[in-house]
Amino acid sequence: MSGFFKSSIGRKVAMALSAFFLMFFLLQHLSINILSVFSPELFNEVSHFMGTNPVVQFALQPVLIFAVVFHFVMGFILELRNNKARNVSYAKNNGNANSSWVSRNMIWSGLTILAFIVLHFIDFWFPEINTKFIQGDWSGTMEGVEGFRYHEELVHKFVNPLRVGAYVLAFVFLGLHLAHGFASAFQSTGLSTVRQKTLQTIGKAYSIIIPAGFIFIALYHYFNH
């Protein structure tokens, strides 16, 4: 197994598998969060189920955190190795002519997304961990708020225009990251040869719809709080 991760192909496949997992999570996360716009009550119910379900909390959540850390660490390792390879390539030809701006700057879009994840954790995950595991409150309720607290907490976070701006900017970079990462993940696993044009179309749609959906949620709550 260690030899697999030491090989260039092994690292790329592992990176691609973590990317698939995270892309599925983004789709699931958007599906739940969009409920906060159309049905706050349903959003509260689903959020409470996800927040108290032991399988989600004690099995899937640790896997998700590991996947995020693994994806970024592996991404930085691959980027450093690619930069060394590019330096040799640039000495022979114009490397810029053979790659897009997005593909050459994946590390910067990745760092922007990583900074956003830290902000997102500060806004939502850390308070949730404090409430449930430190205070021991799994009720999902809040004093002065009727029903579950999740929608109220979500709306409160999008009052500050600077935070909303940071979210919007981060999701723009996420779209750029996904635009290259979607196709790259399939290429690394050897699946890009199957219906390549279809995959490209799906990849473009995914890299637009997912970030646009999250941006819509942030702007909606900002203008309607």
CA distance linking residue 62 with residue 75, whole number of Å: 20
Count H helices, E strands: the chain? 12, 2
What pTM does this model have?
0.86
Is residue 203 very low, low, confident or very high in pLDDT (cuts 50, 70, 90)?
Answer: confident
Q: 28-32, 137-141, 181-185: which has the minimum mean pLDDT? A: 181-185
Residue-wise pLDDT tens digits, 48-67? 999 999 999 999 999 999 99
What pLDDT was estimated at residue 185? 80
| The pLDDT of residue 223 is above 90 | yes
Whose CA is closest to 45, among 141, 130, 157, 129? 141
What pLDDT was estimated at residue 1? 52
Q: Does domain 2-223 have CATH number 1.20.1300?
A: yes
What pLDDT was estimated at residue 16? 86
CA distance linking residue 110 with residue 211, whole number of Å: 14
**Residues 157-165: what's their mean pLDDT?**
95
